[in-house]
Amino acid sequence: MMSKKAIFLASMLAASISNQVGADDVFPKLQGDWFGQPIPGSTPKVFAPGLVSLEGRYEFGMSFSPDLDELYFTALKTGDEDNPEIYYSKIESGYWSKPKKANFSKNKLIYELLPHVSLIQDRLYFSGRTTPSKDSSGIWYVTRKQNGWSEASRLDVMPNKGRLSDYNQGKNGQIIFTNMPERKMYTANHVDGQITELRPLEIEFGLHGFISPTQDYLLVNARNNDDENRRDSDLYVYFKNQDGTWSKPINLGTQVNTTYSETVARVTPDGKFLFFGRYNEPGRVSNIYWVSTDVIYDLKKRFEEKS
């Protein structure tokens, strides 16, 4: 039989656990732009630590809706890296909702990742796979309805087979995506509902490309090329030349890049902030970071002065 002291200690422990669970279940009331987070300057900050960027979980690929009242991102658990999922939050009754799984395909796809809310269509694009075969991967989309999103459909207006990723568009309809098996990026134009002029993107290097909303620069990640002993990825920017070609790649520098890997750059629809994944947790697990795009426009100013 338990002594009174043992019973008291057990009850206190149970109460402590119960209180902790209750505290964990309470989501803070977040108001305002950017998920209610303090605005970063020219030094990258973790985005929404403990709310979006969770310890021990991979997060990357942030996308905001054009009116900035919804956010979407990719997350996957450590030890389960083959099953990424898209999470979302939106403003409801003036407050940001707790992030939860989107499950656009209603479990018809074995994974969903890398969301992009279109700036010119009522669509959200993402990468998905129907079977364990890599050939079943491709670009999918959902269409916005009055009370949510439509059933997921496979994009059928361009070659869409294999590990295609990072589908995104600028405001004039220029499309960028990455063909991972080929280690190559492609571009096309979106005109009157049709995708035309599909062609390889003529740049020196880089994957997981993202075109800025105004199409004046392109972000990619690639292995750091300053030190042959390093194996981490950095973020680079290409600026568009007057003739429509792309400049030489420019490293975003130590303001953004570290000896950890920085990948999957994304820019908000208003062009104000750069989001990216940084793999700086133990085990090279990534968190989402954000920073002012002033770090890009400072480089653009120097680029234009030299041109």
* Average pLDDT for 60-68: 98
Query: What is the pLDDT at residue 91?
Result: 98
Query: What is the pLDDT at residue 157?
Result: 67
Could you tell me the maximum CA-CA distance found in the chain, to the nearest angstrom?
86
Residue 21 has pLDDT above 80, yes or no: no
How large a percentage of the chain has pLDDT more than 70?
89
Residue 288 has pLDDT above 80, yes or no: yes
Residue 3 has pLDDT above 50, yes or no: no
| CA proximity to 289, closest of 247, 240, 255, 248 | 255
Q: Establish if 192 belongs to a structural domain.
A: yes
Query: What is the pLDDT at residue 286?
Result: 97
* Neighbour tally for 45: CB within 10 Å: 15
Query: What is the pLDDT at residue 161?
Result: 67
Q: Establish if 15 belongs to a structural domain.
A: no
- Number of domains comprising the chain: 1
Higher-confidence residue of 100 and 307: namely 100
Q: Establish if 13 belongs to a structural domain.
A: no
Q: How confident is the model at residue 307 (pLDDT cuts 50, 70, 90)?
A: confident
This model's pTM is above 0.85: yes
Q: Establish if 294 belongs to a structural domain.
A: yes
**What domain range is 194 assigned to?**
30-35+49-306
Q: Establish if 272 belongs to a structural domain.
A: yes
Q: Establish if 66 belongs to a structural domain.
A: yes
CATH number where 272 lies: 2.120.10.30
Q: Write out 81-146 in H/E/C secondary structure.
A: CCCCEEEEEEEECCEECCCEECCCCCCCCCEEEEEEECCCCCEEEEEEECCCCHHHEEEEEEEEEC
Residue-wise pLDDT tens digits, 98-134 = 999 999 999 999 999 999 999 999 999 999 988 877 6
Torsion sign (Cα): 77, 42, 219, 69: positive
Contacts of 105 (CB under 8 A, 6+ apart): 112, 128, 140, 152
* Average pLDDT for 83-102: 97
Higher-confidence residue of 198 and 30: namely 30
Distance CA 200, CA 181 (A): 14
Residue 115 is encoded by which pair of tokens?
A: 């969301």
Torsion sign (Cα): 191, 197, 202, 203: positive
Q: Establish if 182 belongs to a structural domain.
A: yes
Q: Establish if 41 belongs to a structural domain.
A: no
Q: How confident is the model at residue 210 (pLDDT cuts 50, 70, 90)?
A: very high
Residue 212 is encoded by which pair of tokens?
A: 């800025």
Quick check: helix, strand or coil at residue 151?
Answer: coil
How large a percentage of the chain has pLDDT more than 90?
75
